[in-house]
Amino acid sequence: MVPNHLESPIASTVDQFEAPAEPTWGARREAAIPRGLSNLLPIFVERAENAELWDLEGRRYIDFAAGIAVVNTGHRHPKIVAAAHAQLDRITHACFQVTPYPSYVELAERLNALAPGPTPKKTLLLTTGAEAVENAVKIARAHTRRRGVVAFSGGFHGRTMMALALTGKVVPYKSGFGPFPGDVYHLPFPNERGSVKVEESIQALDNLLHADLDPSEIAAILIEPVQGEGGFNVAPPEFMRALRQVCDEHGIVLIVDEIQTGFARTGRMFATEHSGIEPDLMTLAKGLGGGLPISAVTGKAEIMDAPLPGGLGGTFAGSPVACAAALAVLDVIEEEGLCARANELGMQMRRFLETLRAEPSLSPVIGDVRGIGAMVAMELVEDGDMRRPGVALTMALSPACAERGVVILPCGLYRNVVRFLAPLTISDALLHEGLAIVGDTLRDLVAAA
Ligand code: PMP
């Protein structure tokens, strides 16, 4: 990037003798980091507190992104910070495979007890969401001794090779990175709007079982109960139940990816609970560590025990500091009633967005408002036509909101969905301040178009 003092076509005499300006963080970032890792916003953050961020210049932002659904318990929740601090003072790393420590066991016990369904559970701790997905597939294959894995179009499961193979969106995630591990099949994901009906997805599964792959060769079906990156598409509960039935019938492992939906986000500890089914395995990450990197596979003990001793692990997997934070996260969710709070916040968000949608100037651009609990999205379209994604408006909205002090994230197969993922600890006042800014910004962008 050209230093600022060279950009002016008529530099003053004084300028010519000044030392070159320090390159900005943006320029240094561009020079030092590959473009494949992109930034939504050119904001360098310095600190954060609950639902607010401050940048290097001291500007404050209301955070409706929560680091992509990570700080459900707010930035730097005092109880979580204290637990991590206390652990830092004792031991930061041992590697559980070498010398175990109690907090890993305690966290596994807590997750086992929280996982839906009566079957005894076991938990493996890891570091990232993608790693949890990789390990869930390994465990399902070891248990079934089968190869095939079925996933869904529009799904997102991470950026490692198997997770990418399972991800149902090409650009930008998969472009140029193949070949991917084989034996992966994608089905259409049904939605409550009815553009893909539950029966159509079930029919597609039935076709797959007859046309492509014998059920006795399928190790697992992997599904997000609400697609996150895919656009906050809620899987209808009857579809989750139908998958449970097919898996039971054929001995297929049902893996539910709760990485974005977990930890009170949807108004229950896990989104699976809305359908009342018991998954065989769940992948967990994001909200679990309250900002520290930790993930998990929690599932039926018999299945979890399939891999041989030594077949699972990771140097940093289940770090003591992250385990301490995660135990505090689970306490905070319970003590502060964050499941109920998620439902309350979701109601307020949906009410606000529906009111916006009713405005004559905005009804042609807000095609849909949807979600569950505090996982809420609005889909932007052109001229009220759901088949014409409002990509340009969605992409303009994030930076325009950031200019006015609110961070929002786009998502969706066509990148035309705005998602609202405020920390569940946000105050009503801050939520409404942020929503009003989003509403005003959208009105101004539409008026200027
Ligand atoms: N699964 C889902 C549903 C996700 O939303 C994500 C991250 N957005 C992942 C997996 C991958 O997690 P990570 O980025 O921690 O690898």
Whether the per-residue pLDDT at 1 is higher than 70: the answer is: no
Evaluate if residue 2 carries a pLDDT over 50. no
CA distances from 353 to 339, 369, 448 (A): 21, 7, 20
Question: Is the C-beta atom of 278 inside 6 A of ligand 1?
Answer: no
Distance 448 CA to ligand 1 centre (A): 36
d(CA 414, CA 379): 10
Please report the pLDDT score of residue 16 as a whole number: 57
Question: Residue 353 pLDDT > 70, yes or no?
Answer: yes
| Residue 419 near ligand 1, beta carbon < 6 Å | no
Residue type, 269: M
Round the average pLDDT of the chain to a whole number and report it: 95
Q: Of the candidates 156, 234, 221, 151, which has an alpha carbon nearest to the alpha carbon of residue 188?
A: 151
Tokens of 285: 């990450």
Quote the longest CA-to-CA distance of the chain. Answer: 81
Beta bridge partners of 226: 234
Question: What is the spatial distance between Cα 157 and Cα 150, in angstroms, rounded to a whole number?
Answer: 12
pLDDT value of residue 195: 83
Q: Is 135 in the pocket of ligand 1 (CB under 6 A)?
A: no
Round to whole Å and give the CA distance between 361 and 171. Answer: 32
How confident is the model over 215-239, as a mean pLDDT? 97
* Pick from 8-22, 25-39, 188-202, 428-442: least confident: 8-22
**The pLDDT of residue 8:** 35
Distance CA 318, CA 129 (A): 13
Q: What is the pLDDT of residue 7?
A: 36
Residue type, 303: I
Mean pLDDT of 331-355: 98
Per-residue pLDDT tens digits for 269-305: 999 999 999 999 999 999 999 999 999 999 999 999 9
Radius of gyration of the chain from its Cα atoms, rounded to whole angstroms: 23
pLDDT above 60: residue 398: yes
- Closest CA relative to residue 409, chosen from 445, 434, 373, 429: 434
C-alpha–C-alpha distance, residues 301 and 304, integer Å: 5
| Upstream peptide bond of 179 is cis (omega within 30 degrees of 0) | yes
Q: What is the pLDDT of residues 304-323, one digit of tens each?
A: 999 999 999 999 999 999 99
Residue 10, pLDDT score: 39
DSSP 8: -
Summarize pLDDT for 145-186 with one digit per residue, the tens. 999 999 999 999 999 999 999 999 999 999 999 999 999 999
Question: What value does the mean pLDDT take over residues 368-392?
Answer: 96
CA distance 358 to 356: 5
The dihedral through the CA atoms of 148, 150, 154, 156 has a sign that is negative
Kindly report the backbone phi and psi dihedral angles of residue 387, in degrees, each rounded to the nearest multiple of 5, phi listed first. Answer: -85, -5
> pLDDT at position 277, please?
98
Copy the structure tokens of residue 226.
Answer: 């609400």
Phi, psi of 187 (to 5 degrees): -115, 155
For position 15, what pLDDT does the model report? 53
Torsion of CA 287, 291, 294, 295, to 10 degrees: 20
Cβ of 52 below 6 Å from ligand 1: no
Structure tokens at 7: 């950009």
pTM: 0.95
C-beta of 228 in contact with ligand 1 (< 6 A): yes
17 band by pLDDT with thresholds 50, 70 and 90: low
Could you give the 3-state DSSP secondary structure of residue 221?
Answer: strand
Helix (H) or strand (E) holding 431: helix 428-448
Q: Is 371 in the pocket of ligand 1 (CB under 6 A)?
A: no
Q: Is the CB of 156 under 6 A from ligand 1?
A: yes
Chain-centroid distance of CA 398 in Å reads: 18
Q: Strand 45-49's sheet: what is its strand order?
A: 45-49, 52-55, 60-63, 406-407
CA 257 to ligand 1 centroid distance, Å: 9
CA proximity to 206, closest of 222, 194, 219, 218: 218
Compute, in angstroms, the gap from residue 328 CA to the centroid of ligand 1. Answer: 22
Number of CB atoms found within 10 A of residue 145's CB: 8
Quote the percentage of the chain above a pLDDT of 90. Answer: 94
Token duo for residue 408: 């929002």
- The CA distance from 386 to 194, in Å, is 12
Average pLDDT for residues 224-249, to the nearest whole number?
A: 97
- pLDDT tens sequence across 90-147: 999 999 999 999 999 999 999 999 999 999 999 999 999 999 999 999 999 999 999 9
Tokens of 295: 């993930």
Ligand 1 mean position, distance from CA 280 (Å):
19
Q: How far is the CA of 131 from the centre of ligand 1 (A)?
A: 9
